Amino acid sequence: MKNFILITTGFAIAVVCYIIWQKIIDNRTQPIEVEHANYKVSMNSIASYFRTLGVIKGVDVPFISSTDNEKLKRIIIPDTPSDKKSIIVGVYNEQTEKVSHLKMIIADDIDSEIENALSKGFVVLQ
């Protein structure tokens, strides 16, 4: 039973990720915001950013992604300088089926927690 729940949860997350990417790519109506962070970005700073947006659990789906993601190459995003690291953070609203916030962060560095999470390219935060 435990394995079934894990598999079902994993499948549900994969479906949400796919839907979000399709909405970002096909229906993006706003330009991507770019933030230049002259510091090491941490998972805590990303969580704080989402809190300032007033993300509503069950309605909004916050996510982070590597800018190396193949799907992102279809979106016009700024180049990252070779001495910097970049990530995409955003919020997908399940009720409107639109991405309500989308931001690229170009930073001096990102912490290992973010790097580990993004080793798969895309992460839905719960």
pLDDT at 31: 66
Residue among 106, 110, 100, 82 at smallest CA distance from 29: 100
Distance between the two ends of the chain, CA-based, in angstroms? 22
Q: How confident is the model at residue 111 (pLDDT cuts 50, 70, 90)?
A: very high
Q: Which residues contact 9 (CB under 8 A, 6 or more apart)?
A: none
With 70 as the cut, is the pLDDT of residue 57 above it? Answer: yes
Model pTM greater than 0.85?
Answer: no
With 70 as the cut, is the pLDDT of residue 76 above it? Answer: no
Higher pLDDT, 121 or 61: 61
Q: What is the mean pLDDT of the chain?
A: 78
With 80 as the cut, is the pLDDT of residue 6 above it? Answer: no
Every domain of the chain and the residues it spans = 2-124
pLDDT mean over 72-79 = 63
